């Protein structure tokens, strides 16, 4: 079942969304996209980073990677590093580690979305478990989360 905090928020905001289940637990963004039969461009993965020691979400297409130094520069941070699992467990008690939805606004965490993700009409993302996704219009995601949209993602060669 998707994280209740997420579905309650979406319901309260009267947002149309669809829960997509894939019955085999998968853990990498590309495996999730394949299991759910969704394009890697439409699957939004959440990468937890620490900017100057504070948690932040970098949200980008599953087919891309975070250019850490570029994200650091664009946010004006002095330091950037990937967050550790232990840091995520405490902040997302209703989610399995690695399956956090990109709704940092529900957890008091800033969200940075990749410019390339904003090209999609609909996006899907982990809904708190490794077997369920939520699919919504990107426009609704942007309106509800109010992410800072930056050009920090790249496609690996």
Cα 102 to Cα 89: distance, rounded to the nearest angstrom: 15
In the structure encoding, which two tokens stand for residue 100, read together?
Answer: 């956090």
Alpha helix locations (H) across 37-152? 68-75, 85-91, 138-145
Of 109, 94, 99, 122, residue with least CA distance to 15: 122
Specify the residue for token string 């439409």: 42
- Give residue-wise pLDDT tens across range 36-68: 667 667 889 999 999 999 999 999 999 999 999
Q: Share the mean pLDDT of the chain.
A: 90
The confidence score (pLDDT) of residue 3 equals: 63
134 or 22, which is more confident:
134
Cα 153 to Cα 51: distance, rounded to the nearest angstrom: 16
Specify the residue for token string 């928020």: 9
CATH classification number, 4-154, choose in 3.30.470.30, 3.40.50.2300, 3.90.960.10, 3.20.20.10: 3.90.960.10
Domain spans of the chain, in order of start: 4-154
- Give residue-wise pLDDT tens across range 5-32: 898 999 999 999 999 887 676 667 776 7
Considering 4-8, 68-72, 92-96, the range whose residues carry the highest mean pLDDT is 68-72
């Amino acid at each position: 079942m998707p994280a209740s905090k997420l579905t309650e928020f979406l319901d309260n905001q009267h947002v149309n969304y669809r829960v997509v289940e894939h019955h085999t637990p998968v853990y990498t963004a590309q495996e999730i996209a394949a299991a759910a039969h969704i394009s890697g461009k439409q699957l939004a993965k959440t990468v937890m980073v620490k900017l100057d020691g504070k948690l932040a979400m970098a949200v980008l297409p599953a087919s891309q990677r975070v250019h850490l130094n570029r994200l650091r520069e664009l946010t004006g941070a002095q330091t950037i590093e990937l967050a550790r699992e232990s840091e995520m467990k405490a902040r997302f008690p209703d989610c399995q580690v690695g399956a956090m939805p990109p709704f940092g606004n529900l957890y008091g965490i800033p969200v940075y979305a990749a410019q390339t993700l904003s090209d999609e009409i609909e996006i899907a993302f982990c809904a708190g478990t490794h077997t369920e996704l939520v699919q919504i219009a990107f426009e609704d995601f942007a309106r509800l989360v109010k992410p800072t949209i930056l050009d920090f993602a790249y496609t690996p060669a």
